[in-house]
Amino acid sequence: MQAGNLHKWALQRRDTSSETETVPGPHFEQQYLDLMRRIWREGGERKDRTGIGTRSIFGATLRFDLAGGAMPLITTKRVYWKTATRELLWFLTGDTNIRPLVLQNVKIWNEWPHARYVEETGDEIALDIFVERVREDEEFAAKWGDLGPVYGKQWVDWSTYQPVAGGLFRKGPGINQVAEVVDSLRDNPGSRRHIIEGWNVAEVPQMALPPCHKTYQFHVEGNRLNCLLYQRSCDVALGLPFNLWSAALLQCMIAQQVDLEPGELVWMGGDTHLYLNHEDLIREQLSREPQGTPRLEIVRRPPSIFDYAIEDFAVHDYAPHGPIKAPVAV
């Protein structure tokens, strides 16, 4: 299947004996559904850390053209793009505690600190009770709501260490990779070093979940900003729709900040999988037809990449099928 420019209804010309007519090209989402179908039919079954098991392939690529505000927002089930946006904005703060998300009713990360709390205390409280304690009790949240140095910490405060006397080291200033990429895109757009990296080998053991969407590289082509995201591990049914939205949104935000137009988003997956207990979700989603062409509008240009708010984003022409629920593998 042709992968480029799938986010527009590209017009393909077809000649007939009497006239030339136009027919719509494949919907941008078709490549996502084809990937899901391929994994479920051809993927090898693997044991994984969750104990649930997956069907998996290694090495997958999707491409989306973001011209004209087009976004890879999946339509065969409702994707809660505001939830994913709030998570992205939280990453950009460098915070690693779930409480700011909980206060916005964002549930993405709740299971991991809850599991740690139950394991370390032996108090098998229900998830909803744990989350309510995080919401209401700042001291409890400070102790039990932290995820370790996950995404945002690495993005905007990568740890450095400076040598001192006697062969010792002291903590140095953190590196704000996001700010550096914005500056380098402005000052040296032809560089091949516009990279945001989340995989800090020294700190991975301290993370509740090591980064899945780990490496972002940006590339300037004329007046367009392209982005390549490498994801080491990808839950295609539950995770990938959020990951595609967030990567495209970050690309659009950075493009606005450096006076470029959004170009192509290239997504690459390492272990690209479906969980065996998601069969009902998969079959239902594959039975649905994609519909519509969602578009993003950024309604304000804030002073910096770190000053966006949820109110700065609007989505048009998004009329998805209904949501499909499935359990999260922790």
Q: Could you tell me whether strands 224-235 and 261-275 are parallel, antiparallel, or unpaired per DSSP bridges?
A: parallel
Query: How many whole angstroms separate alpha carbon 69 and alpha carbon 248?
Result: 10
Which residues, including other chains, have CB under 8 Å from residue 179's CB and lie 6 or more apart? 156, 304, 305, 306
| Cα-based angle 29, 225, 212 (whole degrees, multiple of 5) | 60
Q: Pick the catalytic residue from 212, 227, 234, 252.
A: 212
Longest dimension (CA), the chain: 86
Number of residues in the chain: 330
Q: SS3 of 40, please?
A: helix
Query: How many whole angstroms separate alpha carbon 149 and alpha carbon 183?
Result: 24
Which residues, including other chains, have CB under 8 Å from residue 218's CB and lie 6 or more apart? 181, 185, 194, 195, 225, 226, 227, 228, 251, 254
User: Is 212 an active-site residue?
Assistant: yes
C-alpha Rg value of the chain to the nearest Å? 21
β-sheet bridge partners, residue 225: 220, 262
Amino acid (1-letter code) at residue 115: A
For 105, 149, 234, 272, 325, the CA distances from 99, given in Å and listed in that order, are 10, 15, 25, 30, 24
The percent helix, strand, coil of the chain (3-state, each to 5) is: 35, 25, 40
Residues catalogued as catalytic? 212
